[in-house]
Amino acid sequence: MQHMKQGGIRDQAGLLAKVMIAPAILYVVAMIGVPFFLALMYSLSDATTGDPNFRFVGLRNFGAALADPVFRLSMKNTFIFALVSQFLVILLSRLLATALMKEFRGKWLARFLIMLPWTAPIALGTIGWLWMLDSIFSPIDWVLRKVGLLGTMKALFGPMQNLYWLGQPFLAMASVIMVHVWRLLPLATVIQLAGLSSIPKDLLEAAEVDGASPLRRTFSITIPLTLPIISIAFLFGLVFTFTDVTVVYVLTRGGPVHMTQVLSTWTFFKGIEGGDLAQGAAISLFLFPVLAGVASLMLRMARKSEVV
Amino acid sequence: MGRGGLYSLVAGFAFFGAFPFYWMIIATFKRDHDLFQPQNNPFMFNEPPTLDHLRLLLFDTHYLQYLWNTFCVGSAVVLITLLAAVPAAYSLARWAKGWGETMGIGIFLTYLVPPTILFIPLSRFAAALGLQESLWSLILIYPTFTIPFCTWLLMGFFKTIPKDIEEQAMIDGLSRLGAMVKVILPLGISGILTVVVFAFTLSMHEFIYALTFISVSVKKTVSIGVPTELVRGDVFQWGPLMAGALLASIPVAVIYTFFLDRFISGFTMGAVK
């Protein structure tokens, strides 16, 4: 009797486990898996919003995308924006996290302010930047004019009254990168904080007693021990910047003349505003191999350092 | 690094993070005459502040409607997320052995199929279901990113509750399901609250799906309503625009900050032991 009863409970648990997890899995498969498959189908068709019927056209959309100079520029920009901003984010977040490891007065306020770019909705934060980078009323330009770096014949940045942040190709790209850094720095910082606080204190103290310099301690203890978590921060940051539509859409809409266009905004403009579903799907799928590659690399790194 | 260095470093970063919001506050209360004068000091009020922009935002635009839409979508998404993620997380935390780990990573990997790839096919879904221009399309789609994330987060919370507690409850005569509902859920309430906050804020932050599915002004959420509607022709109405961005940002930022630590512990789980 006793034996049977236990078996019954165990069976029940097995069944319950499956029943309870089923809704979540079904939801994700239905709303991520199926559309992903559909995106693959669309990319091989000639569907438009006007005529969404499926007709197989092979790899024509991918070929057309690759032949399009705007697509190639978007591809390049996507990589530049993601890599440059993540490089800066990892560097700055390490610096900031080291500072936040220490105790000081008013820390909660500093933390609240530092976190704002992440906690407030990104579309609204970017609107604030849009006004800061305004072609005439930018406060950055105002300060530069006041200190004499802008607006006179001999000024470093030239005699114009404004820099036209979002109107000049190089400055527009720098602006997009700046907003990405602004947005992702808080997330990377808290992740790095979690990593730094997981290092056993006695390990660092022991190294100090043994005469290891601060630099040596950083490179021999802190960096190796926090590498998995840095890679997590890097992975998330990369995925966020790589796939982000909001910053570019709100700030520049890809302008001036596509100079800040990225794959995700180009997908939107082609696929939704232009109504070319097939082209849009093909463009967006160029993101996938990179995302998959980055993910598998990061998972492997995280696993390897856990074993050590 | 000395004390002074520490303070100036932190102050510098705080300035960088918060300045755009300071900039919103200034524009919200600044008279147009003062605002659009390139010679005026842009960092302060050169003329007395005004409530005109706020008045325009609240009474002459659909702003309050955007907030209400955002609230409705957020609440419905929270409900769907809880219904799917709580049981799934419990199941993964308690019974999953080998395949639980795999499943956890699987959930994690759904992030790698981003909205950028999904919004085109999903727009056809919405069209097929007759949900274009309907908030229901957002309510159905947002759980695709809240469920994986919240399941992952809750799994960590449930793992911290000792198994003995529900075994004891079962010896006391509760069924397995009864033990979960009556004993474990109350203990996991802080985790569940965290999930409520995150499902809500993530829906509020979302941009691209809302932009794709909703173009009728009165149906917009605050994330897309503010950037797309407070523009007359090509002219941005900076005062009301900044007021709109500010009013929606600050409350959600405050709530989010309270829960940030728990959120991070969920995020980094597995990477830190």
Better-scored residue on pLDDT, A10 or A206: A206
- CATH code at position B182: 1.10.3720.10
Q: Is there a domain that residue B120 lies in?
A: yes
Q: Do A116 and B267 touch (CB under 8 A)?
A: no
Give me the half-sphere count of Cα atoms (radius 13 Å) on the Cβ side of residue A306: 13
> Is the domain of B115 the same as that of B244?
yes
pLDDT digits (tens, 9 = 90+) for B120-160: 999 888 888 888 889 999 999 999 989 988 888 888 788 88
Contact B6 A120 (CB under 8 A): no
Check if the interface score ipTM surpasses 0.95: no
Per-residue pLDDT tens digits for A58-80: 888 899 889 999 999 999 999 99
- Which residue among A113, A243, A281 sits closest to B120, beta carbon to beta carbon? A281
Q: Tell me: do B7 and B86 sit in the same domain.
A: no
Structural domains in chain A plus CATH codes: 68-307 (1.10.3720.10)
Q: Is residue B179 part of a domain?
A: yes
Selected residue of A119, A137, A189, A253 to mutate for chain B interface (largest B Cβ count, 10 A): A119
Domain match, B128 and B169 both: yes
The one-character DSSP state at A45 is: B
Q: Which two tokens stand for residue A156?
A: 């470093």
Strand partners, B272: B269
Count the Cβ atoms, other than its own, within 10 Å of residue B227: 25
Beta-carbon separation of A32 and B110 below 8 A:
yes
Q: Where are the alpha helices (DSSP H) in A147-222?
A: 169-197, 201-209, 214-217
Is B255 contained in some domain?
yes
Considering the domain architecture, whether residues B71 and B201 belong to the same structural domain is answered as: yes
**Confidence band for B1, pLDDT divided at 50, 70 and 90:** low
Same domain for B19 and B107, yes or no, is no
**B116 is a domain residue:** yes
Q: What pLDDT is attached to residue A4?
A: 41
**Would the CB atoms of B116 and A36 count as touching at under 8 Å?**
no
Same domain membership, residue B234 and residue B122: yes
Of A109, A136, A292, the CB nearest to B112: A292
Distance from the Cα of B52 to chain A's closest Cα (Å) equals 19
| pTM summary value | 0.88
Whether residues B100 and B199 fall in one domain:
yes
Nearest CA distance, A123 vs chain B (angstrom): 6
The answer to whether residue B239 sits within a structural domain is: yes
| Residue B56 is assigned to a structural domain of this protein | no
Q: Note down the domain range covering B230.
A: 62-268
Report whether pLDDT(B173) > 50: yes
Q: Does residue A7 carry a pLDDT above 50?
A: no
Confidence bin at B113 (pLDDT 50/70/90)? confident
**What residue in A sits closest to B116 (Cα-Cα)?**
A264
Number of domains within chain B: 2
User: What gap in Å lies between CA A122 and CA B113, rounded to an integer?
Assistant: 20
User: Which residues from chain A sit within 8 angstroms of residue B204, using beta carbons?
Assistant: 121
B50 domain residue, yes or no: no
- Statement to judge: residues B111 and B3 lie in one domain: no
pLDDT tens digit string along A163-208?
A: 888 888 999 999 999 999 999 999 889 888 888 887 888 888 888 8
When computed from its CA atoms, the radius of gyration of chain A, rounded to whole angstroms, is: 25
Residue B141 lies in a domain: yes
Q: Which residues of chain B does A302 touch, with a Cβ-Cβ cutoff of 8 Å?
A: 270-271
Q: What is the dihedral of CA B157, B163, B166, B169, to 10 degrees?
A: -150
B88 and B175 belong to one structural domain: yes
Rounded Cα distance, B266 and B149, in Å: 9
Which residue, A193, A219, A221, is CA-closest to A206? A221
- Model confidence at B270, pLDDT cuts 50, 70, 90, reads very low
CB-count exposure of residue A60 (10 Å: 0-12, 13-18, 19+): middle
Do B20 and B134 belong to one domain? no
Q: Determine contact: B48 vs chain A, CB below 8 A.
A: no
What angle is formed at CA B249 by the lines to CA B243 and CA B255, rounded to 5 degrees?
145
Share of chain A above pLDDT 70, in %: 93
Shared domain check, B140 and B30: no
Residues B36 and B66 in one domain: no
Determine the Cα–Cα distance for residues A123 and B248; give it in Å rounded to an integer: 11
Residue by residue, DSSP assigns B18-68 as HHHHHHHHHHHHS-HHHHT-TTS-TTS-SS---SHHHHHHHHHSSHHHHHH
Identify which of A100, A116, A280 has the shortest CB distance to residue B253.
A116
Closest approach of chain A CAs to the CA of B196, in angstroms?
15
Q: Is A208 helix (H, G, I), strand (E, B) or coil?
A: helix
